Structure formats: structure tokens, C-alpha cells
Amino acid sequence: MNSSPPHCTSVSRAFVRGSSPPRPPPGAARWGNFNNYYRFHDTLSRVQLLPAADWFRTHLQDSHPSPIASRPSAPTRLVALDIGCNSGDLTQHIARHFVSEDIPLDILGIDIDAHLIQRAQDQVAQPNVRFECLDFMSSESSSRIQPYLTERGRSRFDVIFAFSVSMWIHLNHGDAGLSTFLGRMAAMSRYIVLEPQPWRCYQTAARRMRKLKEPEFEHMKHLSCQDELSLTKLLDELYARHNLKLIQDLGTNDWNRRLLLLECPSAMSVHR
Ligand code: SAH
């Protein structure tokens, strides 16, 4: 049984170009790489929860130093990363939202699944949106992402979006992987918008694998949390470990997932 993801290796790039890529059985997407995700997951109710445009202006645009101090600078372009972008619908919606609020934004969407990224690239209609196939947990992820920042004269992102991806990282990489995930984001950005899945989603994902007779998530039994309360406690501990400050609970979307705004240690030195 092949349970590895359709990574962007040279082999899977060939699959992207080829005619019949190997897909997991419907529903057995062990990285959350569901094929028709956006048929079932509305993007509007999540974009609506994002902080108001004024928040981005004050905390992100205005806090970039102007190259010529005496001259009023043009609005700063924000640079964002969307981790686990699937086929890119939410990434594109976020980009349109910023443009409609008059905030120029460049956004890079990354996903572990080459087929989904190919679809995202085929559908992209905005020049400020780019998609790349990349496993954020791989050792090469930082060096693969760095050129995107360098091209824009930045050392870090203004904001990283991580919608409904933390559970897949947790299930596939365990507690240590979840910590690495948060630590990497903390080092790479000024703010993080995080939509962590609740514990019941872990149970549903594990049940789905059993039902489809797919291998279990090897880390599931060993996670230090086994209910909602202990998952929340673990996340709080990891925020503290990586000096992430929860600055706002942005609310809950239509299907009851919370959206959190976290400040990274680097934001504190830039902004204050
Ligand atoms: N963020 C989107 C899609 C969530 S589904 C939204 O909320 O609308 C989770 C996505 O994360 C899947 O497309 C899956 O392929 C991707 N993913 C899981 N692990 C990943 C990893 N290590 N690196 C990059 N993407 C990953």
C-alpha cells in the first residue's frame, strides 16, 4: 500500500504532467489533501474572520521603516505565506480580500500535494499569488521559501496563514513535529493566523482511515493529548515555548473552528 504523499519530487512532477496520477481512495487523504476540499469548505466565513484592514495597516504596513525617512512612503506591500493551501481557493480569496481593502499583498501558497498545486497553478488568476509544491516539514523548506522573501527584499513574512493544517502535521509528525511546525513559523513571520483543528477532527480522521482499511496514523496513540482540553493545553504550552503571543481570538467559522492571531517574537522587535 502506498501511503506516501504525491510530493513534488522529480517523480511526482512527472505524474503531474502525466495522465493518471495515483490518488488516495476518496476520503483517505492522510495529509488532508482532499481532492474536492472546497466543494465542502466555504472560504467566505473564514476570510470574514480576518482582522480588519486597519489592523493590517497599523501593525504591518505602517511598521515597515520608510527607505527615505522624510518622504511619505507608498503603502508597503505585505508578504504572506499560506501553508497547506490545497487547490488554492482560500489563498486566492485572501488575496482578493486584501486587494479590495486597498492593501497590496504578495502571497505564496504551498502544499505537500503536487496534484493540488498543479490545479492551483492552473486556476490562478492574480499576478500577486504564487503556488509551489513544498512539504513545510521537510529539511529543505526554509531554503526553498527564502528566495521568495529575498526577491521582495524581506527576511521574514508579515503574516503566515495556517488554516486547518496543524492536525495533519500533528498526526503525521507527532508532538515534536507540531512543535517544529510552530517554531518554524515563529522564526519566519511577524504574525500567524492559525486555525487549529479541534480534537474531534483527529478522531474523525483516525476513524476514516480504519473504515477505509488504510494504515493508522502512527503517532495518534502517542500524542500527549487525547481530548480537547489536553490539546488546547499542549497548544498553549507550544505557543509559550516558541514565544508566540496569542493576541486575538478572531472567532469561529461556520463549522466551528477557531481562528487565532498570534504574534511572533520577531514582530515584537520590529513593531515596538
Ligand atoms: N488551508 C486550506 C486547506 C486545508 S486541508 C484550508 O483550510 O482551506 C490541509 C492541507 O494541508 C492539504 O491540502 C494538505 O495537502 C496540506 N498539508 C499537509 N501537510 C503538509 C505539509 N507538511 N506541508 C505542506 N502542506 C501540507
CATH number of the structural domain spanning residue 255: 3.40.50.150
Q: Grade residue 4 by pLDDT with cuts at 50, 70 and 90.
A: low
pLDDT reading at 22 higher than 80: no
Tell me what the mean pLDDT of segment 29-52 comes to. 93
Q: Grade residue 255 by pLDDT with cuts at 50, 70 and 90.
A: confident
Tell me whether residue 35 is in a domain: no
Tell me what the mean pLDDT of segment 71-93 comes to. 88
Interval 102-116: pLDDT, tens:
999 999 999 999 999
Q: DSSP alpha helices (H): ranges in the chain?
A: 10-17, 37-40, 44-47, 53-56, 89-100, 114-123, 141-151, 166-188, 199-211, 228-241, 265-271
Q: Measuring from atom 17 of ligand 1, which residue has the nearest CA?
A: 84
Distance CA 13, CA 50 (A): 34
* Domain span holding position 203: 42-60+73-271
Ligand 1 centroid to 50 CA: how many Å? 19
Question: Average model confidence (pLDDT) for the chain?
Answer: 88
Tell me whether residue 138 is in a domain: yes
Give the N- to C-terminal CA distance of the chain in Å, as an integer.
53
Atom number in ligand 1 closest to CA 84: 11
Q: Grade residue 60 by pLDDT with cuts at 50, 70 and 90.
A: confident
Which residues line ligand 1 at a C-beta cut-off of 6 Å?
31-33, 37, 41, 83-86, 90, 110-113, 116, 135-137, 163-165, 168-169
92 phi and psi angles, rounded to 5 deg: -65, -35
What total number of domains does the chain contain?
1
Tell me whether residue 229 is in a domain: yes
Tell me what the mean pLDDT of segment 184-204 comes to. 97
The better pLDDT of the pair 70, 267 is held by 267
Atom number in ligand 1 closest to CA 135: 23
Atom number in ligand 1 closest to CA 38: 8
Ligand 1 pocket: which of 167, 168, 172, 173 to mutate (most atoms within 8 A of CB): 168
Edge to edge, the sheet with strand 105-111 lists 129-133, 105-111, 78-83, 157-163, 189-195, 258-263, 245-252
Tell me whether residue 68 is in a domain: no
Of 3-17, 76-90, 164-178, 249-263, the one with minimum mean pLDDT is 3-17
Q: Grade residue 131 by pLDDT with cuts at 50, 70 and 90.
A: very high
